[in-house]
Amino acid sequence: MEITDIQVDGYERVARCRDEESGLHALIAVHDTTLGPALGGMRMWPYTSEDEALFDVLRLSKGMTYKSAVAETGLGGGKSVIIGDPRKDKSPALFRAMGRFLEALDGKYITAEDMNIGISDLEYVREESRWVTGLSVEKGSSGNPSPYTAHGCLIGLRAVVEEYGEESLEGQHVLIQGVGAVGGRLAILLKEAGARVTICDINEQRVEEMCDEHGFESVPELEHLAVESDIYCPCARGAGLNDETIPRLRSKAVAGCANNQLLEPRHAVDLMNRGIVYAPDYVINAGGIINVGVEMTEGGYDEAVALEWIGRIYGNLKRVFEISREEGIPTNKAALQLAQARIDAGRAG
């Protein structure tokens, strides 16, 4: 087992973790722990070089700092990436080795699920380290974060409708792209809140089932941007807001749980110029991380506490919209300002 540090400006620690016996080659980035230990998921990906993995872990860990700062979880930002093919290279020994590296960082980095990493993988990590969250409810952990992400998104959508001048979600038409774990749950919650819901997903069977069971309207994925709606709610993949899609949008707001919705930060300016309210993704989709974060509190995981904290997403979005209006800046910049202000306040003590 060998840890070597990679010096990167602006990051508290970036550790290269290598274990010959299990074949583990991973990077752990602790971006900022001003507000608390650095929480962020563990991802496995067949990166073609360590530089590529480094780029990813730096970008993702920094994003976690801002996400947690806005969400006021009392946590900082970090992330880990394992270089390898998730279909071929996983083994109990590999994840146990990862656990030993986490333990060596002494709680500065706390892990959770991310792309290509499941609860069964994390359970091996947990055999060697305490610093693992998001395991099963039976094990005293917070379980699947998706319903909490959906719940938080619903709360955030209330702030969104107010921003474009409506009082509630009742009667609002929401177009959801992607009805998987989060989007599917959100569709149901929106219907319960009296919204009109149109769904689209590349998984046609899923769409059919959801429409049969809940009476949603649907639109083929390729045609969905032609649908007029009050809120366009991306809940599939990232980068969906770009030069090609933004001019075609026919909604008053874009607000959904997908990560990294803007292809580039400048696309938030394009949305602003079109008068479309944009809820920065990491502010509105923080329900899951907040839920996981409650595990790190003194009393351990408590759903009631999680739901109370998730309720703050409403106020956070209100504040982001307020900063954006007052300063004439796009909402993604306003969110960053809010995050930085909270980190600075934490630093000042």
Closest C-alpha to 330, from 338, 318, 321: 321
202 in contact with ligand NAD (CB under 6 A): yes
Terminal alpha carbon distance of the chain = 37
Of the residues 257, 268, 292, 294, which one makes contact with ligand NAD according to CB under 6 A: 257
> Residues touching ligand NAD: how many (CB under 6 A)?
25
Tell me how far, at minimum, the Cβ of 204 lies from ligand NAD, in Å.
9
Tell me how far, at minimum, the Cβ of 51 lies from ligand NAD, in Å.
24
Taking the least distance from each CB to ligand NAD, the nearer of 8 and 219 is 219
Q: Are 68 and 76 in contact (CB under 8 A)?
A: yes
Tally of CA atoms within 13 A in the half-sphere of 268 that contains its CB: 21
Bridge partner residues of 241 (DSSP): 262
116 in contact with ligand NAD (CB under 6 A): no
Answer yes or no: 108 catalytic.
no
Q: Rounded CA gap, 128 and 84, in Å?
A: 21
73 in contact with ligand NAD (CB under 6 A): no
Q: Rounded CA gap, 15 and 27, in Å?
A: 6
Q: Rounded CA gap, 287 and 156, in Å?
A: 10
Q: Note the helical H segments in 72-203.
A: 92-104, 119-128, 146-163, 181-192
Q: Are 164 and 253 in contact (CB under 8 A)?
A: yes
Of the residues 34, 136, 203, 340, which one makes contact with ligand NAD according to CB under 6 A: 203
Closest C-alpha to 313, from 148, 40, 63, 71: 71
Taking the least distance from each CB to ligand NAD, the nearer of 183 and 293 is 183
Q: Rounded CA gap, 246 and 254, in Å?
A: 10
Q: Rounded CA gap, 80 and 86, in Å?
A: 15
Per CB under 6 A, contacts with ligand NAD among 279-298 are 285, 288
Contact code string over 127-166 relative to ligand NAD, x by CB under 6 A = ------------------xx--x-----------------
Q: Which stretch binds ligand NAD (CB under 6 A): 78-86, 135-143, 253-261, 299-307?
A: 253-261
Tally of CA atoms within 13 A in the half-sphere of 220 that contains its CB: 2
Taking the least distance from each CB to ligand NAD, the nearer of 84 and 288 is 288
Of the residues 17, 200, 249, 254, which one makes contact with ligand NAD according to CB under 6 A: 200
181 in contact with ligand NAD (CB under 6 A): yes
Element (H, E) at 17: strand 13-19
Q: Which stretch binds ligand NAD (CB under 6 A): 6-14, 47-55, 198-206, 295-303?
A: 198-206
Of the residues 23, 180, 311, 346, which one makes contact with ligand NAD according to CB under 6 A: 180
What amino acid positions are annotated as catalytic residues? 79
Which residues contribute to the site for ligand NAD (CB under 6 A)? Answer: 145-146, 149, 177-183, 200-203, 206, 221, 235-238, 257-259, 285, 288
